[in-house]
Structure formats: C-alpha cells, structure tokens
Amino acid sequence: AQKVTQAQTEISVVEKEDVTLDCVYETRDTTYYLFWYKQPPSGELVFLIRRNSFDEQNEISGRYSWNFQKSTSSFNFTITASQVVDSAVYFCALSEALEYGNKLVFGAGTILRVKS
Amino acid sequence: DTGVSQDPRHKITKRGQNVTFRCDPISEHNRLYWYRQTLGQGPEFLTYFQNEAQLEKSRLLSDRFSAERPKGSFSTLEIQRTEQGDSAMYLCASSLSQRFTYEQYFGPGTRLTVT
C-alpha cells in the first residue's frame, strides 16, 4: 500500500527565513510520481510540482526547490526567503503509474505560517 | 484556460436528505477524480472516471454515494440519506492521461455541512 508521511504538522517562520517541508513516502511500485500541492486559505489546491520516480534531478523554480532522494524515500520542499503569501497548507502526494489510475495518496499536510 | 469548476461551493443539509454536487473539468481532460477532505487531513480518493467509464471506487464510497459522468464531460456526485459523518469538503480534479502529463488540477471544492 502507498503511504505519505508529513511529520511536521505546523511550522512558523519569520519572513525571509528559509524553510524546508519534509515528505517521506512508501510504495512497492517501481514507477510512481510525487507531487506537491499548496492549499491557501481560500481552499483550492494548487499544483506546484511533479517528479517521476526515474528522474532524481532536483529542481528549482524561483524561491522554490525540491530535493528528491530515492535512497531515503524522501521528497522535500524548500522555500527560500519566505514571504507572508507563502502561508498555506502544503501537501505532498504520491501516485502510481498512469495505467493503474494515477489516483493521488496525500499526506496529512504541513501548515506553514509566515509572519511579517 | 478555464479551470475546474464545482457547484455549489457550499451546501448545508439536514441529516437524511439527498444532495448532489456537480464538477466541470478542464475541457480537454479525459480523467476526472473525486476526493473528500475532512478538517486537518489531506484529501482522500473516492472514485475516478476515464471519459464516461467509472474505473475505480474507493472503499470510502459507501452504497449511499454514487457518481456519474454521462457524456464524458461534467460529473455529478450524489449522496443519499446524508449522515453527519459526510460533512467534509468534496474536491473534484481532472487530468489528461497522456504520457508525462499526470498532474491533476483541482476545483475549489464543495463544502458539505450535515446538521
């Protein structure tokens, strides 16, 4: 069975601090996909990034970066120079291969509070 | 590009009543998913469609729940004889099942409160 663990329930930082959100996953599949979504107070889940299991390259997009390590089954998300607008709930998710439905298994989420 | 839309955004109903929610996916997306999210938790998968075919249902989807996607476009989720435990946010997502495009895009959700 697939499982995603986000051990950090809530993180509070002061604006301009860097913050890393942890994600650990479990799966028996050899092909799988990892995602991060942001859920701001408005409630709509916003897609941030997808990573394929066969591509361990880390990725940077502006102030966001992602570190995928198959050896530790982790897919961590770092926000550099955090801003108040980054305050939201962040979800890590895992899905199986496309031909098996590609349904998402989510972690419980990490609440990020960025204070000015 | 029009995103995923859901209607209504909020629904308050009394226990025992039936409710129906609608989801309109992104127009070219052939897959449509329903999830349920309770307070403080991540969304949980309920069911999904590829075009008009319902291909998988979660064990969370009791007999009181039924979903349809009659023409492979919009979908409806009906809950019969609602119970207080059905109170949650119901999320719809759509995706294009093509190689290397697996992202699911979510709608704003329908918040159901059963009194």
pLDDT, tens only, B5-58: 999 999 999 999 999 999 999 998 999 999 999 999 999 999 999 999 999 899
Q: What is the pLDDT of residue A90?
A: 98
**pLDDT at A51 exceeding the cut of 70:** yes
Alpha-carbon distance B46 to B94, whole Å? 13
Answer whether A110 touches B (CB < 8 Å).
no
Average pLDDT over residues A98-111: 86
Strand, coil or helix: what is B22?
A: strand
**Does residue A115 surpass a pLDDT of 80?**
yes
Q: Select, from the ranges A101-105, B37-41, B59-63, the one with the highest average predicted confidence (pLDDT).
A: B37-41
pLDDT for the residue A29: 87
What pLDDT does B100 receive?
64
In the three-class reduction of DSSP (H, G, I as helix; E, B as strand; rest coil), residue B112 is classed as strand
CA dihedral over B62, A100, B31, A2, signed as positive or negative: positive
- Chain A residues whose CB is inside 8 A of the B112 CB are none
Which residues of chain A are within 8 Å of residue B45 when distances are taken between CB atoms? 103-105
Which tens digit of pLDDT belongs to each residue from A5-23?
999 999 999 999 999 999 9
- Say whether residue B55 is in contact with chain A using an 8 A CB cutoff: yes
Mean pLDDT of the region B79-94: 97
From chain B residues 24-43, the ones with a CB under 8 A of any chain A CB are 31, 33, 35, 40-43
Contacts of A56 (CB under 8 A, 6+ apart): A68, A69, A70
Question: Quick one: CA torsion of B6, B8, B10, B15, rounded to 10 degrees?
Answer: -120
Give the per-residue pLDDT at B61: 87
Q: What is the pLDDT of residue A99?
A: 66
Peptide bond into B8 cis (omega under 30): yes
Which residue of chain A comes nearest to B97, CA vs CA?
A98
- Tally of CA atoms within 13 A in the half-sphere of B47 that contains its CB: 21
| pLDDT > 60? residue A31 | yes
A102 touches chain B (CB under 8 A): yes
Asked if B94 has any chain A CB less than 8 Å from its own CB, the reply is no
Closest partner residue to A43 (CB to CB) among B41, B89, B100 is B89
- Residue A106 contacts B where some CB pair is shorter than 8 Å: yes
pLDDT for position B72: 84
